[in-house]
Structure 1
């Protein structure tokens, strides 16, 4: 079996994925990324014009990873209610795996400047994709209930990060269950 070396661009992005997620966007410097990726400064700037460009690629990669995991986790469930509950169970699993690190996108949103519109655009795109996920799962929700579920999910994600606890996710899941019992969903 032939070993393929990891290209500098991949090492840079892999390092940024780890460091931005663990430390935050603003507290991670370009020099640390260069050092830990084992690349020359010129190599970084050959592939990424700026830290913001690297941040955009980080968000796109994180979006792909997160949604692949979410879809994989929820695909077993065929029924709407079970698929929604599986999404909340996925959030519980991510909290445990990542030690309540929270949403990478909202974490970055809290760090960026108003002129970093590329980053804001990617964050909005990701959140719209998540909103669409719930709308697609709920084929015929009454009164935009898919947005209610989306907002419960988002709130649970943020509050579980704040309290370092699963109770917000469990409570949001219970609210969704109660909505089903009240026949708000089909």
Structure 2
């Protein structure tokens, strides 16, 4: 018999799923408790308060995103394909978890203008992961200042894809368009035949 998730795991699942569907701050605690089938005392015993639960749910989601993205990078062979792996990872991530309306981290940032220290640090961790990995992958492809420019532009395209999903675009199509746009950016900055393969799906 498959063991049932613990109360702590059910709370994390409920918070993450509801945040993906309707946002962190707009989800009442009672709705999280009802979905997780636990009492308020259980939530407070494990996480202290709602923000503590939100922080842990975001950390867990970030760890899953990190793992999925790294997996896609490792699967890619050419350096340019490793750069484009962020779009492969986004598509895979959305099918492995409750699909969000755009990005749970950007949503939480928009909903929480004055987050506590733990929440602020967790939200910043998502940005650091995105920027640091793209800069590292860009540096393996280009040298010097163009590598930073390339990372910044792919970050812009990636964030634009998330925005298009929020606007109601089909997620699969938006991700494919983002990948194609990023491939054009790579080719433009690298020049010549070196980046030709980056435009291939």
Counting only pairs closer than 5 Å after superposition, residues 11-30 of structure 1 correspond to structure 2 as 11-30=10-29
Change (3 A) 1:23 1:40: same
TM-score (norm. length: structure 1): 0.84
Q: 2:130: which partner in 1?
A: 130
Structure with the largest fraction of helix: 2
Change (3 A) 1:96 1:6: closer
More deviation, 163-172/106-115: 163-172
Q: 2:107: which partner in 1?
A: 107
More deviation, 88-97/56-65: 88-97
Change (3 A) 1:161 1:95: farther
More deviation, 175-184/61-70: 175-184
Deviations 1:100-148 (Å, cap 9, x if unpaired)? 7211100111101314332222111111111111122222543123233
Is the contact between residue 160 and residue 168 of structure 1 (CA under 8 Å) also seen in structure 2? Answer: no
SS at 2:111 equivalent: coil
Is the contact between residue 15 and residue 36 of structure 1 (CA under 8 Å) also seen in structure 2? Answer: yes
Q: 2:69: which partner in 1?
A: 70
How many residue pairs were aligned? 184
1: CA distance between counterparts of 2:35 and 2:106? 25
Where structure 1 has 5 or more consecutive residues not aligned to the other structure, the ranges are none
Is the contact between residue 68 and residue 93 of structure 2 (CA under 8 Å) also seen in structure 1? Answer: no
Is the contact between residue 56 and residue 119 of structure 1 (CA under 8 Å) also seen in structure 2? Answer: yes
Whether 1:121 aligns to 2:126 is no
Is the contact between residue 33 and residue 40 of structure 2 (CA under 8 Å) also seen in structure 1? Answer: yes
1: CA distance between counterparts of 2:119 and 2:189? 35
Change (3 A) 1:88 1:114: same
Q: 1:57: which partner in 2?
A: 56
More deviation, 67-76/6-15: 67-76
Change (3 A) 1:162 1:174: farther
SS at 2:3 equivalent: coil
Where structure 2 has 5 or more consecutive residues not aligned to the other structure, the ranges are 196-201
Deviations 1:22-45 (Å, cap 9, x if unpaired)? 111122111111111111111111
Root mean square deviation, CA, Å: 2.6
Change (3 A) 1:100 1:174: farther
2: CA distance between counterparts of 1:58 and 1:20? 9
TM-score (norm. length: structure 2): 0.78
Q: 2:155: which partner in 1?
A: 150
SS at 1:128 equivalent: helix
